[in-house]
Amino acid sequence: MNEVETPSFLTLLQELLDIGGPVVWVLLGFSIIAVSIVLIKIWQLMLIAPESTATANKAIALWKQNEPEQAIRVLKIAKPLDELLALTMEGLRQTEIPKELLKEELQRVASLRINQLRSYLRPLEVIASLSPLLGLFGTVLGMILAFQQMELAGSQVDPAVLSGGIWQALLTTAVGLAVAIPAVLAHNWLERKTERVAALINDGVTQVFTHAPFIKLSTITPAESLKNVA
């Protein structure tokens, strides 16, 4: 059964590519790129599990119990949230480091990790935006050719030829929408996950900053602190 269906599908695909012309070929390339990006992002999310908060919540609970070493030991640095929490805890334990410098470093690392999660999302957004426009462009070109054929036929216009040219023109719009709709859904889904990770990082780091009972105010001046950090 599969041996019969596979050639039929390939034949249908070849016919659609031949009828749609260069525009459909471009849209097919866009679809391959979009699927590749989505698979890469899914693999990335599965690898680092950025939305997982199990170890982070346990570390924050230990931190609030004034057990910083155990809290840091629990964290998995491969996760963006855990990495930022570990940096925050280590920075707050070293009271000679000014909080301003620590916050700047945390902001730098957080921006880097969020940008890594947003990698390849821009090309996916471009594909989602351009695909329906390319499909419409192909439809306009197809309609122009159909009406040119009608003009050349003069008074002996064959409705079958005209209708065939119109459906061939509309095919590119359908293909463009078929590529754009999943790309839009995938982009919004991945963007929402990135925003959630950013919110989790902000919430976790804030909790660490606001629950540090063992930290004493440093008597070292800012100039001495900068010297020590250097």
Q: Is residue 213 part of a domain?
A: yes
In a domain, 137, yes or no: yes
What is the per-residue pLDDT across 12-57, written as a single tens digit (0 to 9) for each? 656 666 666 788 888 989 999 999 999 999 999 999 888 888 999 9
Query: Do the domain assignments include residue 18?
Result: no
Query: What's the pTM value of the predicted model, to 2 decimals?
Result: 0.77
Is the CA virtual torsion 19, 21, 24, 25 positive or negative? positive
Residue 174 within any structural domain of the chain: yes
Cα→Cα distances 187→70, 101, 103, 129, 168, Å: 38, 35, 30, 11, 30
Nearest to 177 by CA among 124, 120, 126, 133: 133
φ, ψ at 75 (rounded to 5°)? -70, 150
- Residue 170 — pLDDT band, cuts 50, 70, 90? confident
Residue-number span of the structural domain to which 178 is assigned: 30-42+51-229
Spatial distance between the Cα atoms of 82 and 49, rounded to a whole number of angstroms = 11
The pLDDT assigned to 210 comes to: 87
In this predicted model, which residue has the larger pLDDT, 169 or 184? 184
Check residues 163 and 88 and name the one with the higher pLDDT.
88
pLDDT digits (tens, 9 = 90+) for 119-158: 999 999 999 999 999 999 888 888 887 777 776 666 666 6
Domains identified in the chain, total number: 1
Average pLDDT, the chain: 81
Task: Look at residues 204, 166, 192 and name the one whose alpha carbon lies nearest to residue 86.
Answer: 204
Residue 173 lies in a domain: yes
Among 15-24, 102-111, 204-213, which is the least confidently predicted range?
15-24
Q: What is the pLDDT of residue 2?
A: 47
